[in-house]
């Protein structure tokens, strides 16, 4: 097996960068090298150092002057919503009822699920995302299709069959028992197979009966290492309806708490309108709140207070995500551009190193997979992207006046999209140039 030796400007984070001058927070090599063996990074450092460790037959790939970064991680997206994206004129509950639930009924058809799973993973990879925490539809076949496609590509993905047994059309409902049985069967078939991770996925409190939330809690207890993903506190009408369904709950978070769904592997999409008690409880349990800026703007859900959550006494663990198809773009660059604006509307700023930390190491830490992905450290899986800051005429022109790495990164975030992603390596294999488009 040939081992690729990549050359380029490598950037990888060690921790949260406090300021743009906080150099110890990242490792940047102007002439960097990455030696890949068996899908992992066998050596990283200056090109001169790394080249010495390469075998005679190593395949040298020169990506200069481009940047080499860990692949982006998308912490929340719905693969069955590729044909929901860009649906006009509704807030969350109407949007679900009008567009999303009818679309997801199509995933009864296994062939449709396989087609969309393939196109979804093509699309995320084209945009430089090498890991996604994905919601499938309620149908077991949709999760089968997603995992089969992900495994074929040797991607590290996290996914689960959605559990939902009420307040939605018949074609997207399971039962408490069938959700439990199907989730167990999928866990047995896919969790830990290659790079696949299963996530227990009750859609949200509105669409799961008490009995089904009990079942979700039972699965979390049976499989404490698995992720759990759901939605929380996205929209005012959603919160009101949830509290109507759970009159004894102290608040929305308490509904999930009651069923034992909080914890370090638990990912809560949105979390925009949390009370202090809810935020404390999420923090105490080590739960993760997932920032989905394009979705929150598109559906008019509200402004996630990133800096307050990050710096409060009981700080929250934060991930960032597209939330396609409530979200409007597959690109994590476009996502953090909108994220920057949401944070600005809350009177704060995120510096470009912080943004790129979030998209790589930050999301890997939030998803508890930093041992495998999110950095360019030796021993990590070789999920690597190549970013070109001069990908379009407007970017090329702007780069004429960018003097620092911070400016280049901020320009990539503000103007960049899939065109700035020149190559994507998934476990060491060039996956973007390989793709028939
Ligand atoms: N809440 C429950 N389901 C969904 C969904 O599919 N998208 C979003 N944005 N919120 C949800
Ligand atoms: Fe979502």
Judge contact between 239 and 273, C-beta under 8 A: yes
For the record, the structure tokens of 354 come out as 């912080």
Angle of helix 210-222 versus helix 176-190 axis, rounded to 10: 20
Query: What is the residue with the minimal CA distance to atom 3 of ligand 1?
Result: 203
Q: Give the residue carrying structure tokens 């199509």.
A: 106
Decide whether any atom of ligand 1 lies within 6 Å of the 204 Cβ.
Answer: yes
- Quick one: which ligand is closest to 235's CA? 1
Buried b (16+ CB within 10 A) or exposed e, 117-149: bbebbbbbbbbbbbbbbbbbbbbbbbbbbbbbb
Identify the CA nearest to 283 among candidates 300, 266, 304: 266
Helix or strand holding residue 43 (H, E): strand 40-46
Rounded to an integer, what is the distance from CA 164 to the centroid of its chain? 22
Question: What's the CA-to-centroid distance between 234 and ligand 2, angstroms?
Answer: 9
Question: What's the CA-to-centroid distance between 435 and ligand 2, angstroms?
Answer: 27
Kindly state the DSSP code that residue 327 receives in the 8-state scheme. B
Judge contact between 219 and 227, C-beta under 8 A: no
**To test ligand 1's pocket by mutation, which of 74, 75, 76, 78 has the most ligand atoms within 8 angstroms of CB?**
78
Tens digit of each residue's pLDDT, the chain (437 residues): 678 999 999 999 999 999 999 999 999 999 999 999 999 999 999 999 999 999 999 999 999 999 999 999 999 999 999 999 999 999 999 999 999 999 999 999 999 999 999 999 999 999 999 999 999 999 999 999 999 999 999 999 999 999 999 999 999 999 999 999 999 999 999 999 999 999 999 999 999 999 999 999 999 999 999 999 999 999 999 999 999 999 999 999 999 999 999 999 999 999 999 999 999 999 999 999 999 999 999 999 999 999 999 999 999 999 999 999 999 999 999 999 999 999 999 999 999 999 999 999 999 999 999 999 999 999 999 999 999 999 999 999 999 999 999 999 999 999 999 999 999 999 999 999 988 55
Judge contact between 53 and 34, C-beta under 8 A: no
Decide whether any atom of ligand 1 lies within 6 Å of the 295 Cβ.
Answer: yes
* Cis upstream peptide for 65 (omega within 30°): yes
Judge contact between 74 and 336, C-beta under 8 A: no
Q: Give the residue carrying structure tokens 């404490």.
A: 224
What is the sign, positive or negative, of the torsion defined by CA atoms of 313, 314, 319, 322? negative
From CA 161, how far away is CA 198, in angstroms rounded?
9
- Nearest atom, ligand 1, residue 204 CA: 2
**To test ligand 1's pocket by mutation, which of 107, 234, 290, 322 has the most ligand atoms within 8 angstroms of CB?**
234
Q: Is 51 exposed, middle or buried (0-12, 13-18, 19+ CB in 10 A)?
A: middle
**To test ligand 1's pocket by mutation, which of 173, 205, 323 has the most ligand atoms within 8 angstroms of CB?**
323
Question: What's the CA-to-centroid distance between 96 and ligand 1, angstroms?
Answer: 7
- Quick one: which ligand is closest to 163's CA? 1
- Nearest atom, ligand 1, residue 299 CA: 9
Number of H helices, E strands in the chain: 17, 16
């Amino acid at each position: 097996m040939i081992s690729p030796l990549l050359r380029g400007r490598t950037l990888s984070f060690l921790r949260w960068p406090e300021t743009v001058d906080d150099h110890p927070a990242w490792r940047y090599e102007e002439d960097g090298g990455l030696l890949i063996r068996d899908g992992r990074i066998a050596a990283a450092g200056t090109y001169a150092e790394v080249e010495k460790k390469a075998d005679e037959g190593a395949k040298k790939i020169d990506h200069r002057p481009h940047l080499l970064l860990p692949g982006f991680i998308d912490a929340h997206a719905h693969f069955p919503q590729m044909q929901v994206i860009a649906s006009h004129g509704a807030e969350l509950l109407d949007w679900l009822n009008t567009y999303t639930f009818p679309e997801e009924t199509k995933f009864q058809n296994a062939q449709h699920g396989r087609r969309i799973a393939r196109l979804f993973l093509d699309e995320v990879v084209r945009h430089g995302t090498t890991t996604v925490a994905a919601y499938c539809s309620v149908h077991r076949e949709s999760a089968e299709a997603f995992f089969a496609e992900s495994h074929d590509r040797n991607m590290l993905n996290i996914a689960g069959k959605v559990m939902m047994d009420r307040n939605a059309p018949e074609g997207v409902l399971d039962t408490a028992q069938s959700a439990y049985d199907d989730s167990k069967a999928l866990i047995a078939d896919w969790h830990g197979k290659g790079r696949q991770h299963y996530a227990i996925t009750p859609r949200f409190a509105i669409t799961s009966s008490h009995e089904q939330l009990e079942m979700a809690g039972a699965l979390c207890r049976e499989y404490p290492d698995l992720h759990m993903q759901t939605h929380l506190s996205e929209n005012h009408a959603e919160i009101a309806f949830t509290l109507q369904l759970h009159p004894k709950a102290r608040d929305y978070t308490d509904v999930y708490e009651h069923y034992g769904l909080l914890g370090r592997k638990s990912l809560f999409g949105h979390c925009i309108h949390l009370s202090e008690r809810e935020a404390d409880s999420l923090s105490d349990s080590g739960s993760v709140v997932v920032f989905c800026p394009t979705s929150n703007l598109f559906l008019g859900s509200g402004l996630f207070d990133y800096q307050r959550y990050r710096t409060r006494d009981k700080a929250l663990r934060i991930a960032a995500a597209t939330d396609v198809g409530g979200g409007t773009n597959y690109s994590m660059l476009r996502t953090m551009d909108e994220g920057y604006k949401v944070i600005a509307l809350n009177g704060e700023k995120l510096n470009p190193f912080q943004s790129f930390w979030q998209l790589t190491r930050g999301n890997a830490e939030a998803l508890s997979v930093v041992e495998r992905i999110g950095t360019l450290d030796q021993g990590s899986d070789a999920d690597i992207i190549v970013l070109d800051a001069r990908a379009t005429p407007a970017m090329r022109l702007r780069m004429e006046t960018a003097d620092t790495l911070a400016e280049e990164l901020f320009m990539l975030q503000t103007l960049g999209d899939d065109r700035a992603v020149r190559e994507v390596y998934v476990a060491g294999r060039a996956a973007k140039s390989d793709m028939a488009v």
